Structure 1
Amino acid sequence: MPEGSLTTPRARLALLIDADNVRASFLPIIIREASALGTVTVKRVYGHFASSAMNAWQPLVHDYALTPVHIPPAATGKNATDMKLAIEAMDLLHRGQIEGFCIASSDSDFTTLASRIREDGVAVYGFGEQKATVAYVRSCDRFFYCDLLMQEEKKPEAQDTTSPKASDPAAGEVKADPTRLPVDDILAAIDDLSGDEGWSHLGEVGQILNKRRPDFDPRNHGFKKLSALMESLKPVEVRRKNTSGGSSMIEVRVKTR
């Protein structure tokens, strides 16, 4: 799980999947990330299960213990699946037994639903692709780009970005994408949390970045850990300290310009 999660491991989550808008191949990633955020107590997938388009989902329903919600042919059409998912989401919200919602879809129609759920103080986690609109992404507490995460998983082991050497752009092995990497936001987060000597706890920096940018994830930029991403940035200095309890703590600061 990325550093800086927003819920406790025991938070009860509802996973609601729009099968009309999510690739079945994304399901292992969705389940993995959702399970790291909390305990998924509700798992529902919505779609016209009599259609051949749902063939890829059929075995996954059993393998992952999903509850299929069938949208009959008479009800199919634009927004039919979305409406059913939204209605059931509000029903779960009003029961007061769910502490977080995982909405798997790139459809911007769920922007209003995510915003409404958060109004009640309940977390919303989106799972989709880069085609998701900015408004939808920012209506969630966190947003996971499944297509980017899948690309990261397919990288050869030789490109393991957990080590500082592999994540050093000077080595020519792994380079952050400057068009996507929010360097200014990263530096601002470090500055905002810095102490007298400019050092900030890496975990706290990760948390504030997730709050300001719901789609921020070091894996989206080719790094398995936030620490590796930080070590790749020339304006950032990283140090590791041993605490009194024997564990290691990572701190970062912006280098003096």
Structure 2
Amino acid sequence: MPETKKIALLIDCDNVSHNSIEGVLAELAKYGMVNVRHAHGDWNSPSLSGWVTKLHPNAIRPMQQFAYTKGKNATDSAMIIDAMDLLHSKTVDAFALMTSDSDFTPLVLRILESGMPVYGFGEKKTPQPFVDSCSLFIFTENLSVDREEKLDSPQLQLNKKTKNELRQDSGLVRLLRAAAEQTAEDDGWSALGRVGSYISNNSSFSSINYGYKKLGDLIRASELFDIEMRNGGTAMYIKDNRK
């Protein structure tokens, strides 16, 4: 049985909302165990009061960073140092950065050079360079917890894109078609697993950003491909349905 991947989650509390932390942790559980959970910020600041209520229930360690100079973001520097210390400690196998700040793009690239994936989580205002640099990036607005539910039962509030909305996203359409084409077998059909692997290796795509928990559900909704279920209905294969 393969060893569980150990993930370090570093949170830039100055630049991301606390409302989606449960959803972020639930998403990361798909990829491994989040054994490091550090939340960076000036905990004397009233603006972090929402984060304070999230620390203990989610086993997150607050990392204090005083704002020594007005106008300078000391939190960014502290978080980068923390990440580099963890990288060189060789105690984690992957990183998750929860921030909406593009200043962390060089950090992402440095971690990727070390052979570790970087899972990014940020608000929709996050600059594109940071989004594109991550191994996978999910907008935190898509990982919010229903306030009527208990905190230990996160419910993703997914706003599903319609068929027309998916088809109008030219970047998405190109990515899906390229993935199917590059992974096609001799009969022209592509196994969904190989399609997903191709996409993961070539983009920061996540189906959750389009309102779908699974890639297969998004592909069905787009109606861009013919679909065939094989191996007793357990394996999905797709083929471009353009004539």
If the TM-score is normalised by the length of the shorter chain, which range does it land in?
0.7 to 0.9
Counterpart contact for 2:7–2:95, Cα < 8 Å? yes
Indicate the residue corresponding to 1:255 in structure 2. 241
Residue 131 in 1 paired to residue 125 in 2?
Answer: yes
Q: Distance in 2 between matches of 1:26 and 1:70?
A: 21
Q: 183, 206, 210: which is aligned to 1:193? A: 183
The alignment partner of 1:55 has SS state of helix
Q: How does 1:16-165 map to 2 (within 5 A)?
A: 16-74=10-68, 77-150=71-144, 153-154=156-157
> In 2, distance between residues paired with 1:234 and 1:184?
14
CA contact (8 A) 1:176 1:222 kept: no
1:50-71 Cα distance to aligned partner (Å, 9 max, x none): 1111111112111011110111
Contact 2:19 2:144 in 1 (8 A): no
Query: Would the aligned equivalents of 2:16 and 2:98 in 1 still touch at CA under 8 Å?
Result: yes
Aligned residues between the structures: 233
Q: What is the deviation of 1:73?
A: 4.0
- Relative to structure 1, the CA distance from residue 239 to residue 81 in structure 2 (aligned partners, 3 Å threshold; closer, same or farther) is same
Residue 203 of structure 1 corresponds to which residue in structure 2? 193
Which 4+ stretches in 1 moved above 4 angstroms?
A: none
* Partner Cα distance (1:224, 1:205) in 2: 16
Note if contact 2:119-2:135 (Cα within 8 Å) is conserved in structure 1: yes
1:122 is paired with a residue whose SS is coil
Contact 1:9 1:37 in 2 (8 A): no
Deviation at 1:118, TM superposition (A): 1.1
Q: Which runs of 5+ in 1 are unaligned?
A: 1-7, 162-166
Which whole-Å CA distance do the structure 1 matches of 2:20 and 2:72 have between them? 23
What TM-score do the two structures reach when normalised by structure 2? 0.87
The aligned amino acid for 2:50 is: A
Q: Report the CA distance shift for 1:76/1:57 in structure 2 as closer, same or farther (over 3 A).
A: farther
Three-state SS of the structure 1 residue aligned to 2:212 is coil
- Quote the offset at 1:143 in angstroms: 1.0
- The alignment partner of 1:37 has SS state of coil
Q: Residue 4 of structure 1 aligns with which residue? A: none
Secondary structure of 1:69's counterpart equals: strand
User: In structure 2, do the counterparts of structure 1 residues 177 and 233 end up closer, same or farther at CA, with 3 Å as the change threshold?
Assistant: closer
Q: 2:165 and 2:50 mapped to 1: Cα distance?
A: 35
